[in-house]
Structure formats: structure tokens, C-alpha cells
Chain A
Amino acid sequence: MLAVHLPVFQVLLPLLAAPVSMLLPGSRVSWVFSTLVSWGCFALSVLLLQQVLQEGSISYAIGGWAAPWGIEYRVDTINAFVLLIVSGISSLVLTGAQASIEREVAKNRIDLLYTCWLLALAGLLGIAITGDAFNVFVFLEISALSSYALIALGSGRRALTASFRYLVVGTIGATFIVIGIGLIYMATGTLNMADMGARLPAVAESRTVIAAFAFLIVGIALKMALFPLHFWLPDAYSYAPSPVAAFLAGTATKVAVYLLLRFSFTIFGGDFAFGAMALERVLMPLALLGIFIASLVAIFQMDVKRLLAYSSIAQIGYMVLGISLVSVTGLTAGILHLFNHALIKSALFMVMACVFYRMGATRLDDFAGLGRRMPWTMAAFVAGGLSLIGIPLTVGFVSKWYLVVAVLERGWWPLAVFILFTSLLAVVYVWRVVEVAYLRPAAEGAGRCEAPLSILLPTWVLIMANFYFGIDSSLTVGVASRAAAALLGIGL
């Protein structure tokens, strides 16, 4: 009987757990509790994905009010996949988070961190699962408000200004999205995504719909840090507590990419968004510029967390590039990279958590000699770095492979060369860190200081996942291509 209610429990579990964790005594208890809840969410998302793969999409009517009128939770292949990513990353990161949170966050604030974390998780899962456009805005703000709080908990006062800037940009982005949703509601009289999709073609000529489209795309682009609207991201990721950065880097921008897919394909429809509006002519140049400039800027960063943040902006570019090809292979590459990059960046930010735990900072100079002092941590960085570059046997390779294939399908070989060239830029910025860690000697008298096992273990699980899904990509590619075909409206 409970199987019917899976979709609602996916969001309800962290939402209910958040106030409970607020009441629990002591930060350790709330950590154990929230980690268990997060793993519970992961189990639910695995069940949901299984169910969707076997039986097709699931619909759940909140309050028993049927679909076009009430709020509907709708799970199909793509959002089941996103749910899996979000809950999986959250669980793994949270498992390893305790030690580094105790170190990085002021004692009297820790107890509320886990509440914010669970709320952010509930919000992100909610954005992915809901089939109601206004509900997207509500969950967007739940996750955004709690992530502002999470980022502000970082050590040092710059976390506060980073969080404030993110708040201003995030609020403008969310307000743009709500304007867009309102304009679509004016034109169609419905808030249900599927219903919007059915009614929009009839009114697609109207200026209201075109304005709505523009507002939505700009709002979503702000949220997913698409170049040149990325300026909030580097500060937010580099001054947040490291586990929070690992969580947000793996989930928040990915969910925004999912929103771009959902709005441009399910609601506006590929014909309108890419045919009449020629969205790809905007997205593709921005994606290419973003990849190139952000990779270049990453090379010159003196702080490794900041370096990774710029690299994230470049990786968003790869996802958008895949989407802007508007072909099954291109979309598959985009969706695959969504999953793969979540694994890569969360792993690398967990490495940053290890380094920060021992060094108290992640400046490039702090890495001197770490190859010997923290061998396991730095080995994880090298492995994650290889995956980021896209060496065969890693997930990074799988997504770049599909991206190159999709580009060549169009016959645009200069783009394929460009992708390979920007991978070389990734080699440069990863190598800078590796060089300092392995070739520059440590300060006098500094002994071995490996990070505690509690952080190291989840980090390595994420790294191993990078290799596992790099070698056996049948699950991820299968799901991604099914999702891509469904978005384009091509039955498999």
C-alpha cells in the first residue's frame, strides 16, 4: 500500500525530519539522524527509479485533487534520475561531513546546520519531483533560503558577503522564474506542467508567452550559473563549509539544469523553444564561451576551492552545450554529464574538506608536500582530477565521449576539437595542484597527517563511483538516453 505513496514520501521525509532534527539534543545526534534520513531518501529514490523504469511515469495527486486542478507530483525517467543524484550525493557527503563540520563551523551554530541541510535537500528533491509549475518556485525558495544559511555558516567573514551576494542574485533569479510562470498562467490558465505543455502551442504566437519564455530562461540561467550569470558561484562555493560546497556543487546547479530541460522541452516544447525561439543560438555560444573563459580563469586561481568552482562553471557549459545540440545523443550527453559531474565535483570538494580539516585553508601553497603528508587524500584528488579531465575508464570520459559523438553527428568537427582543447585546459589546472602537492617539498618538520577515516571513506566511495560508472556505464547511459528520447518526444 505504501508503494503508491512513494513520491510524496520522497519530499516529506526530509521535510518532516528537519523540524525533528532541530529539537534533538547535541550536534552528534542530529548528524546521525539527518544522515539516516538522507539515506532513507536515497532508498526511496532508488525504488522510484526502479518503478519508473518498469512501469513508466508515476503520478501522485496531493490531497486527492486530480491533476490539472490540484498539485501533482509526477515522476518520469529524467526526474527519477535527478532524484537519485541529489539524494545519493547528499547521503554520501553527509556521511563524511561530521568531522569537518565540527572543525569549520562555530560550535553554537552546528545544531541548526543539519536542519538547514535537510530543508535544502527537501527543496531540491521537491523541485525535481513536482509536476506543478508554481510548486517549483516554492521548493526553489525552500532550497535557496536554506542554502544561503548553509553558506553563511562558513568560517571567516567572507562567507557572509558571499552568502549575501548569492541571496540577491538567487532572489532575482527566482523572481524572474515566478514572473515567467505567472505569464504562462495568464496565457493558459493552468499551473500543471503537462497541461501547460498541451495548451501552450495554441497560444504560442502571443507576446505574453514569449515574454514568459525570456523571463524563465534568464531566471533559470541565473540559478544554474550559466556564463555570464555565474558571478555568484565562485565566492559561494569557496567560502561555504567544505561539505556544504560538496553538497551544493553536486546538486543545486544540477537541479537548475533539470529545470531548463523541463521548461524548454516539457512545457514550451522543443518546437517552440528551439524552433521558433532558436534558444540553441543563445545557449551554444554562451556554453562555449563559458567553457573556455571559466577554464582559463580556473588556471590562474590561487585557492583550490575557487579553482574547482570556476571549473564547475565550465562543466555547466558542457551540459548546456549537449542540450543545445537538440538531438538524442546531445541530450544524452548533457544528462549524463549532469550525473557524472555531480560525482566528480562532490568527490573533489570532499577532498577539499580533508585538506581543510588538516591545513585550515585550501590555498595552493597549503598543498605543498601534501602528496607525502596526506597520500590517500591526494591520491583521491588525482583520481578525481583525471575524471574531471576525461581520461578513459572514468565517468568524465563517458560524458565527453557522448558529447563529441553528438557534435560529430552534426558534422561540426571544429567543436569536437574545441572540446578536446578545453579538456587540455582542465589538465593544466588539475596539474597545477598535483605539481604543488607532489613536487614541492613540505615545510620543515611537517609529518604525515592523513585526514580522519570518517571523511576519507565517503570521499573514496565517491571516487570509486567515478570509476565504476566510467567502466560500466550501461545504467547511466541507458537511463540518460531514455530520458533524452522522452524529452524530445521520440518513443524508444
Chain B
Amino acid sequence: MASLGLYNYWLVIALMMIGFYIVITSPNLVKKIIGLNIFQASVFVLYITMGKIIGGSAPILSDQIAVYSNPLPHVLILTAIVVGVATTAVGLSLVVRIYAAYGTMEEDEIEKIEAQEEVPT
């Protein structure tokens, strides 16, 4: 069962699909943002997996250590995490304003209100 040895990649795929599924199916805008976060988290795991070398140490130079993990993907994903936080903040603040403007944060109800608005006056 060689493919089970790559369990982190299975985890990535599972997280990605869970997140994607929530984004697509959930009518609740906050849950959509949560789904988006799970979706992004899968990419974080992918990058972290990529950089890890079994038996490798943190990249702090020392004479006693021969094998280091690759720090670059970890640094990159730190940037992506920051971006994810920023996206979440922007998304949630939009949800707050949508809730204030529509009185709901269920997408189907918002669509109903918008459809009513579109009836020619």
C-alpha cells in the first residue's frame, strides 16, 4: 500500500474537496468563508509537506546537523497564510455590511430580495 504512505497528500485532497464543497453548497455567507479557509488550509499543508524532509532539522546552521528541511516552501506559505487572513478579514467585513444592508446572510434569501428589486418599476 504505497499510496497510503503519502497520507499527507490524501489529507490535502480531502481538505480541498471539503472546503470546495462548503463554498459551493452552503448558502450561508459566513460558512462560505469558513469553506474558503479550509480550502486554503489544504494548500498550506501541501506546501509544508513539500518542504519537509524526514529526519531533517529546522534550518538553523549547526555542526551537529547534516540534513535540513527545505525552509523555502515554509516561508512561502507563511506569506500565503497572511494573504488568507487578509482575505478572511475582507470577506467577513463584507458579510457584516451585507447583513446590515439585507438583514440576512443566507444567499438564497439575498437572491430572492435581489430578484424582487429587478422587477421593473
Residues of A at under 8 Å CB distance from B? 134, 137-138, 141, 145, 148-149, 152, 157-158, 160-161, 163-164, 167-168, 171-172, 174-175, 178-179, 182, 185-186, 191, 302
B residues sitting closer than 8 Å to A (CB atoms) are 20, 23, 29, 32, 36, 39-40, 43, 46-47, 50, 72-73, 76, 79-80, 83, 86-87, 90-91, 94-95, 97-98, 101-102, 110, 114, 117, 120
- List 26 interface pairs A-B (beta carbons < 8 Å), by A numbering: A134-B76, A134-B79, A137-B80, A138-B79, A141-B86, A141-B87, A145-B90, A152-B97, A157-B102, A158-B114, A160-B94, A160-B97, A160-B101, A163-B94, A168-B32, A168-B91, A171-B87, A172-B20, A172-B39, A175-B39, A175-B40, A182-B43, A182-B73, A185-B50, A186-B50, A191-B72
Partner of A179, one of B43, B73, B76, B110: B43
Residues of A within 8 Å of B117, CB to CB, are 158
Known: A157-B98, A179-B43. A172 touches B110 (CB 8 A): no
Q: Which secondary structure characterizes the binding site on chain A?
A: helix
- A171-B36, A182-B47 given; name 6 further pairs at CB < 8 Å: A138-B79, A145-B86, A145-B87, A164-B29, A168-B23, A168-B36
Cβ contacts under 8 Å, B86 to chain A? 141, 145
Selected contact of B87 from candidates A163, A167, A185, CB within 8 Å: A167
Closest B residue to A142 by beta carbon equals B83
Given A134-B76, A167-B91, A182-B46, CB of A160 within 8 Å of CB of B98: yes
**Which of B72, B90, B98 is close to A149, meaning CB atoms less than 8 Å apart?**
B90
Are A141 and B83 in touch, CB under 8 angstroms? Answer: yes
Residue of B nearest to A166 (CB): B94
Nearest-neighbor residue (CB-CB) of B75 within chain A: A134
In the complex, the answer to whether A157 meets B101 with C-beta atoms within 8 Å is yes
Task: For the complex, give the distance between the alpha carbons of A174 and B29 in Å.
Answer: 19
Chain B binding site: helix, strand, loop or mixed by DSSP? Answer: helix
In the bound assembly, the distance between CA atoms of A191 and B43 in angstroms comes to 17
Nearest-neighbour CB distance to chain B for A206, whole angstroms, equals 15
Q: Bound complex: CA of A138 vs CA of B76, how far in Å?
A: 10
* Residues of A contacting B36 in the complex (Cβ-Cβ under 8 angstroms): 168, 171-172
Query: Which listed residue (B80, B83, B95) contacts A164, Cβ 8 A?
Result: B95
Nearest CB to that of B23 among chain A residues? Answer: A168
Contact A175 B43 (CB under 8 A): yes
- What are the residues of chain A within 8 A of B39 when measuring CB–CB? 172, 175
A191 to B90, CA, bound (A): 28
Distance of B90 from chain A, by nearest CB (Å): 6
Q: Bound state CA distance, A444 and B67, in angstroms?
A: 83
Inter-chain contact B76/A167, CB cutoff 8 Å: no
A144 to chain B, nearest CB (A): 8
A168 to B39, CA, bound (A): 11
Top-8 shortest CB links A-B? A157-B101, A141-B83, A164-B94, A160-B98, A160-B97, A167-B91, A171-B87, A182-B47
| C-alpha spacing A30/B49, complex, angstroms | 45
Q: List chain A residues, Cβ under 8 A from B94.
A: 148, 152, 160, 163-164, 167
Contacts of A137 in B (CB 8 A): 80, 83
Closest to A302 in B: B120
A158 cross-chain contacts in B, Cβ below 8 A: 114, 117
A134 CA to B87 CA, complexed, in Å: 17
Q: Which residue of chain B has the shortest Cβ distance to A157 in the bound complex? A: B101
What CA separation (Å) do A138 and B39 show in the bound complex?
A: 18
* Chain B residues, Cβ within 8 Å of A168: 23, 32, 36, 91
Q: Which of B50, B80, B110 has the most CB of A within 10 A?
A: B80
Q: Which of B87, B97, B114 has the most CB of A within 10 A?
A: B87
Q: What's the least CB distance linking A157 to chain B, in Å?
A: 4
- Chain A CB count within 10 A is highest, among B36, B50, B83, B98, for B83
CA distance A58 to B32 in the complex (A): 43
Minimum CB distance partner of A151 in chain B: B94
CA distance A50 to B55 in the complex (A): 52
A-side contacts of B40, CB under 8 Å:
171, 175
Which residue from chain A places its CB closest to the CB of B91 in the assembled complex? A167
Q: Which residues of B contact A179 (CB under 8 A)?
A: 43, 46
How far apart are the CA atoms of A172 and B97 in the complex, in Å?
Answer: 22
Instruction: Name the residue on B nearest A167 (C-beta).
Output: B91
- B12 smallest CB distance to A (angstroms): 9
- Bound CA–CA A138/B50 (angstroms): 19
In the complex, the answer to whether A138 meets B83 with C-beta atoms within 8 Å is yes
Roughly how many angstroms separate A158 CA and B87 CA in the complex, as a whole number?
Answer: 20
The answer for the CA separation of A224 and B21 in the assembled complex, in Å, is 23
How far apart are the CA atoms of A124 and B120 in the complex, in Å? 38
In the complex, how many angstroms separate the beta carbon of A441 from the nearest chain B beta carbon?
Answer: 20
A172 to B110, CA, bound (A): 22
Cα separation A148 to B95 with both chains bound (whole Å): 13
Contacting residues, chain A, for B23 (C-beta < 8 A): 168, 172
Q: How far is the CA of A396 from the CA of B34 in the complex (A)?
A: 44
> In the complex, what residues of A have CB within 8 A of residue B47's CB?
182
> What CA separation (Å) do A198 and B35 show in the bound complex?
37
The answer to whether B110 and A161 touch across the interface, beta carbons within 8 angstroms, is: yes
Q: CA–CA, A152 to B32, complex, Å? A: 18
